[in-house]
Amino acid sequence: MDLKDLPASAPTAGSPVVGASLPHESARLHVTGKAAYTDDLPEPAGTLHAALGLSPVAHGRIDGLDLARLKAQPGVVAVFTAADIPGENNVGPIVHDDPILARDTVAYLGQPVFAVVATHRDAARRAAALAREVLQITPLPPLLDLRAAHAAGQHVVPAMHLTRSSHPGGVVGAIAAAPHRLQGRFSLGGQEQFYLEGQISLATPLDDGGLKVNCSTQHPSEMQAMIAHALQLGAHQVQVECRRMGGGFGGKESQSALFACVAALAAQALGRPVKLRPDRDDDFLITGRRHGFEFDWEVGFDDAGRVLGVEVTMLGQAGHSADLSPPVLTRAICHFDNAYWLPDVAIHGHLPRTHTQSNTAFRGFGGPQGALAIEMIMDDIARTLGRDPFEVRRANWYGTPEDGRGHHVTPYRQAVEDNIIDPLTQTLAQDARYAERRSAVQAFNAQSRWLKKGLALTPVKFGISFNVAQFNQAGALVHVYLDGTVLVNHGGTEMGQGLNTKVAQVVAHELGLPLAQVRVTATDTSKVANTSATAASTGADLNGKAAQDAARRVRARLAGVSAQAWGVEPETVRFEAGQAWGPDGQQLGFTALVQQAYAARVQLWSDGYYATPGLHWDRETLTGKPFFYFAYGAAVAEVLLDTLTGEWKLLQADLLHDVGQSLNPALDIGQVEGGFVQGMGWLTSEELVWHPQTGKLMTHAPSTYKIPTANDVPEAFTTRLYENRNVSDTIHRSKAVGEPPLLLGFSVFLALRDAVAACGAPGCLPPLRAPATPEALLTALAAVQATA
């Protein structure tokens, strides 16, 4: 969708609000540079600046720290270490095994050991940069390789196992009895969130002993709890606020805690505001990212390519601590099936501990890693049988409850009740001319020696809800003022995805108002308490429902006022076009009605609450109903590969994605396209490299870590939303759109694999690792060319 297709301003009072392609509520602020992020807030008088002193080794024992030298540096006011933290130094969203500041040992190169506070940011950074000189550390052998850590029995949590089998011989017997069998392994790299706004916190002491922390975070309530625990405060003494983030992608769900806690520690101790904003290199070195995975698998299948049995071992690179790795692995296990019925399946998940940054949430939260593994297996099955990969995928689709085959239950025992994967992919295949282009690609490759084309169509089935049932709840406040304007506050955070726009649309729709009359304010722990992270694609689902609940409560009270005046039943009053309407044509302006309600002492504000129904999960057996519903999608990608250099170009991409009944098609299309490009970047150009001896992350800056740019987007780029309505009772029957589209990027990676295979013998299986950098492509090309 082009920007010219969007309305220049908010719709008129009579125009629809929900379902309209309205601009992001802060779009003009973004493009004019007026949007205030945490670093743009005016600094209170006397603000100090903090910087972190980082470990220069990946593993070692801390023997000493020259505090006197640090304190003597120009502009330095104070230096803080783990000994200065009055409460809990070890934090973590699940296991409290991650120190704010390292105390006795360091567990990765870049781990914060001390914090310097100075009058200016540059002074703090210069002093913190002396870490290598002022720290006395005895180096210890680091464990850096994922497979080596697994072999050594080093893990952050116990292993997870999920098995389902109906074969007398179990999964092993099902594989052994199959007409065809394959084994393989696959290396999948991680991914840096690379949010445009880095980590930042500004902590300000309050006059009653409390603290206000402005923090770029996806989880203000968790930051509140972490700060309170670290400083031995009550949660009611800590206020965390976030108006907007310049991107998060999961990197600010749990790992903003370190920066918030250090800023709060310094502010409380010094009685002055303290800001902590690391530069990009330090942000890379300190924080974790998407988990890299190693897969080993074996599969048995029949002549049509149908999977009869599959066993996979997943190794997820947790890093030095648990962080969110356990639920990430759980989601990877629960998405290994992707869109496919797997009758006999065994999944083994492990989280080896390495001396690297502790990895964390990233858009998809393990789901993309798990789903890509089965897509690689499907691709290998198709190549082994000499069949079209899309044909093999279709042979393995999930069924529906109505077809009577029982092929609609996932390995974790949740029924797939809303399966639209076949009609969706068939629609895309037809619209994108997949069969015709497949023949054209084969013809091109037959006559082109050095340039090869590749084509792939890949599906997406993605579960929506938090893995932990208790996180699937939200609250909101709706205030109606005497001039008829409305203020909304909810527990979700805005990171550019348009959450506040959608929530405002929902409230405007309920009250029959134009969008311009509704404003959403900053997320604030002093307004809506005990909120969940804005993650797992649940932002609009949870907070939209909570805001709708609050708005409906206010609307019901207003309807009662007008109904009494008109002598009608309250349920017959409707709100539309800025008016209240009676059943017999009566009407009253919304503002006039609000003023009448105030005069009658009727409450004009309300709280709202929502909890996702029907969820349950057994963490021991890995079974239950972890997801409220599934989102679906598919993509076709065509690439051109230079086999001499490993360089390639995406020629065309066609996306079709299911967002249910869209709240805002313009925002949803933007999320689909952005997710696709981010997924493509993860699997092609975004390579993370650690020095094999020192453990230093070598790709810690934009100069060495390559995210996609506008030049990577193909000229032929078609994105459409699949016409659908969620069967589950979501907000206006919409579906989540944050994470699922990232999996559409699989199509690019598998199209590259298709191009590589064109250089080998029929049936060759290209050993292409991800990301498919030019080096990885050349390695895979050399392997398949040896088979030709």
Which of 192, 294, 298, 739 is an active site residue? 739
Query: CA–CA distance from 312 to each of 46, 183, 299, 377, 414 (Å)?
Result: 57, 10, 9, 10, 20
- For residues 419 and 433, is the Cβ–Cβ distance under 8 A? no
Beta-bridge partner residues of 161: 348
Give the whole-angstrom CA distance, residue 15 versus residue 33: 29
R_g over Cα of the chain: 27
Starting at the edge strand that comes first in sequence, how are the strands of the sheet with 518-520 ordered?
518-520, 486-490, 473-480, 605-611
Coil, helix or strand at residue 97: coil
Q: Is the CB of residue 336 less than 8 Å from the CB of residue 370?
A: yes
* C-alpha of 180 from chain center: 37
Two tokens, residue 139: 């180096």
Burial of 359 from C-beta contacts in 10 A (0-12 / 13-18 / 19+)? buried
Preceding peptide of 771 cis, ω within 30°: yes
Backbone φ and ψ for 174, nearest 5 degrees, come out as -65, -40
Within 10 angstroms of residue 256's Cβ, the number of other Cβ atoms is 27
- 617 CA to centre of own chain: 21
Amino acid at 37: Y
Residue 457 corresponds to which amino acid? L
DSSP one-letter string for 626-641: --SEEEEEEEEEEEEE
Between β-strands 48-54 and 274-276, what pairing exists: parallel, antiparallel or unpaired? parallel
Of the candidates 297, 368, 362, which has an alpha carbon nearest to the alpha carbon of residue 325?
Answer: 362
DSSP line for 282-322 = HHHHHS--BPPEEEEEEEEE-TT--EEEEEEEEEE--BSS-
Please tell me whether residue 119 adopts helix, strand or coil conformation.
Answer: coil
Compute CA distances 335 → 374, 627, 740, 743, whole Å.
Answer: 9, 11, 11, 11
- Tokens 């949870």 belong to 542
* The dihedral formed by the CA atoms of 109, 111, 114 and 117, expressed in degrees to the nearest 10: 100
Contact criterion met (CB below 8 Å) for 465 and 331 = no
Amino acid at 210: G
Residue 297, beta-bridge partner list:
184, 312
Q: Is 638 a catalytic residue?
A: no
Measure the CA–CA gap between 121 and 119, rounded to whole angstroms: 7
Sign of CA dihedral 202, 206, 211, 217: negative
Distance CA 181, CA 3 (A): 50
DSSP 8-state code for residue 8: S
**Catalytic residue ranges:** 739
